[in-house]
Amino acid sequence: MAKVKSKWICQQCGYETAGYLGKCPECGSWGSLVEEVQFDQKMPNAAANEFINTEKPVLLKDIHIGEEVRISTNISEFDRILGGGFVQGSLILLAGDPGIGKSTITLQTCGQLCRAGKKVLYVSAEESASQLKLRAERLGINSENLYIYPQTNMENIKKQIEEISPDFVIIDSIQAIYSNNVASSAGSVSQIRECTNILMHIAKSKNITTIVIGHVTKDGNIAGPKVLEHMVDTVIYFEGDKYKTYRMLRSMKNRFGNTSEVGIFDMQTDGLHEITNPNELFLNERSQVAAPGSAIIVTNEGTRPLMVEIQALVGTTSYPSPRRVTNGVDISRLHQILAVLEKRVGLNFSKQDVYINVMGGIDVNEPSADLGIALAIATCARDVVVDPQTVIIGEIGLSGEVHPVNNIEKRLNEAAASGFKKAIIPFANKIPADFNKINIVKVKRLSDAIVACITSLES
Ligand SMILES: Nc1ncnc2c1ncn2[C@@H]1O[C@H](COP(=O)(O)OP(=O)(O)OP(=O)(O)O)[C@@H](O)[C@H]1O
Ligand SMILES: [Mg+2]
Ligand SMILES: [Zn+2]
C-alpha cells in the first residue's frame, strides 16, 4: 500500500507547500491553498514511459519539417483565431465563463469536422448523451463520424481513444475528469495537471488534435485554466456579455499563429453564427444623434480593425472621494488619461465622478484608444460634441503628446468603408500622399485634438 501524504496546493497558480498558508506566496491570493492527498510513491505513468522510450535527442540540422497539416474548421472566424485551422496533433484549451456557449461552439465545430470526413470523439464529462443529442438536434448536427462518450475517468477515456483512434478528441470539461494516478478530487490542480499531461502525450504521440474545455469564473477562483495555459499549444478564450447575444473568441496564446485575433459570433437558438462585419453590429447600437461624451475609435484587434464607441459621463460628485468607473477599459488607463487632461489641458476632475463605458460590451486594451477616451471625457466635461462622422485614433503620452499607432492605413480604410468622413490621427503616423478615402487631421498634442474635433457647442 502506497504511503499517503498531503500537500497544500494553490488552486490559482499551482504553488505547492507542505503546510497550510493563508496567503499564497507565489500569486498573492488569499485562501486559495487546498490540501491535496498524494501517494508518496512514483505512480507509473504509462503514457509518459512510452514517450520516454521512443524519444532521443536529435541534431537540429537533422530535423526535417514535415508539412504542417492544418485542418479547417469551415468556420472562417474560428480558422482565423487558430491561424488557419487546427494544427494536427496540437492541444487546444478553450476557456470561458460557465454557460457562455463553449459546448455549443465545440459541438458545431465537431459537426463541421465530421462533414469533412474526420472522426471525432466527444467526451462529455458533464452532460449525458441524451443532453448532447438534444443540443445536436437544436444545432442541426447529425453526423455519422461523431462519437459521444459520457465519461469522467481519464484511464477509460485513454482506452477508448486508443480503440476508436479518432482524428479529434474533445474533453468537455477538464475540470470534470479524474485520473486514478492522483488521489485528489476532480477539478483540483493536481488532477487537471495529470489529466492534461496524459492528453498531451496521446495528442503528440498519436497525432490526435485535442480540444480541452475549461471553465473560468469572474474572479478566476476555480482551479484550472491558469495552470493549464502553459501546458497546451493554444489557448482560446470564449467571452461575451451574458445579456447580449454576441460572443467573442480570442486567442491568448498560440504556438502556431498570431495571438491578437478575435472572432465574433452571434448566439441564436440554432447555434452560433459568424459575424463577418462586426462594425455594423457595434455601430448600430450607437445613438444617431450626437451627444456629449461620445467618441468613435478604431482599435486593431488582430488583423482586423474594429470601430467602437466610447462613452464618458462626467458629473459633480456626491461622494467624499470622486468615483472612477470603467467598463471595457483598464481603470489605471483612465487615471492616467485624467491626470494628463488635468495637467496639460487644464480640466479639473477633483470633484467630478468619471464613468467610461465601451459600447458593445467589448474590452479595449489597445493604447490607440487613449485619444478617443480623452476626447469623450473632455467633450462631456465641456458639454460639447465630437462630430459623429469623425473617428479618433492615437496614444497619449504623459506630457500630452500624441504617439503614433500601428496599422494606421488599415484602420483608416475600415473607417472610410464604414462611412466616416474624418479621422483624427497622430502627427507622426505616415500616410501615403494620395490617400484620399477619408479627410485626415494630424495632431501633435492632446489639446490640438480637442480643438480639431469639437465642431459645435451645445448648451
Ligand atoms: N434552447 C435554446 N435556445 C437558444 N439558446 C439556447 C438554448 N439552450 C441554450 N442556449 C444558449 O446556450 C448557452 C449555453 O451554451 P453551452 O451549454 O454551450 O455553454 P457552456 O459554456 O458549455 O456551459 P457550461 O458551463 O454549462 O458547460 C445558454 O447560455 C444559452 O444562451
Ligand atoms: Mg458545456
Ligand atoms: Zn498562488
**Residue 131 pLDDT > 70, yes or no?**
yes
Per-residue pLDDT tens digits for 142-152: 888 899 999 99
**Residue 116 pLDDT > 80, yes or no?**
yes
- Which of 25-29, 62-66, 71-75 has the lowest average pLDDT? 62-66
**Residue 301 pLDDT > 80, yes or no?**
no
Q: How confident is the model at residue 221 (pLDDT cuts 50, 70, 90)?
A: very low
Q: 415 near 308, Cβ under 8 Å?
A: no
Q: Is the CB of 96 under 6 A from ligand 1?
A: yes
**Residue 71 pLDDT > 80, yes or no?**
yes
Phi, psi for 121 (deg, rounded to 5) = -110, 115
* CA 106–ligand 2 middle distance (angstroms): 9
* CA 401–ligand 3 middle distance (angstroms): 39
Q: How confident is the model at residue 426 (pLDDT cuts 50, 70, 90)?
A: very high
DSSP-based three-state secondary structure for 74 = coil
Q: What distances in angstroms separate CA 171 from CA 97, 115, 129, one per listed residue? A: 16, 20, 14
What is the 8-class DSSP label of residue 189?
H
- Which of 45-59, 163-177, 239-253 has the lowest average pLDDT? 45-59
Q: What distances in angstroms separate CA 374 from CA 47, 74, 449, 453, one per listed residue? A: 55, 41, 10, 12
So where are the chain's domains?
1-41, 46-56+68-276, 281-457
From edge to edge, which strands make up the β-sheet containing 4-10? 16-17, 4-10, 33-39
**Residue 457 pLDDT > 50, yes or no?**
no
Spatial distance between the Cα atoms of 425 and 443, rounded to a whole number of angstroms = 6
Q: Is the CB of 269 under 6 A from ligand 1?
A: yes
Question: Please, which residues bridge with residue 239 across strands?
Answer: 248
Beta-carbon contacts of residue 28 (< 8 Å; ≥ 6 apart): none
CATH topology of domain 46-56+68-276: Rossmann fold (3.40.50)
Which of 97, 103, 171 has most ligand 1 atoms within 8 Å of its beta carbon, as the pocket-test mutant? 103
* CA 314–ligand 2 middle distance (angstroms): 41
Of the candidate CATH numbers 3.30.230.10, 1.10.287.130, 1.10.10.10, 3.40.640.10, the domain formed by 281-457 belongs to: 3.30.230.10
Look up the pTM and report it: 0.75
DSSP characters for 236-265? EEEEE-TTSSEEEEEEEEETTS-S--EEEE
Q: Is the CB of 101 under 6 A from ligand 1?
A: yes
Place of cell 498634442: 445
Q: 86 near 92, Cβ under 8 Å?
A: yes
* pLDDT, averaged across the chain: 85
**Which range has highest mean pLDDT (23-32, 95-104, 323-332, 379-388)?**
323-332
What burial class does residue 449 get, using C-beta atoms within 10 Å of its C-beta: 0-12 exposed, 13-18 middle, 19+ buried? buried
Q: Is the CB of 94 under 6 A from ligand 1?
A: no
Q: Is the CB of 57 under 6 A from ligand 1?
A: no
Q: 337 near 370, Cβ under 8 Å?
A: yes
**Residue 36 pLDDT > 60, yes or no?**
yes
Q: What distances in angstroms separate CA 359 from CA 70, 152, 373, 457, one per listed residue? A: 36, 41, 12, 24
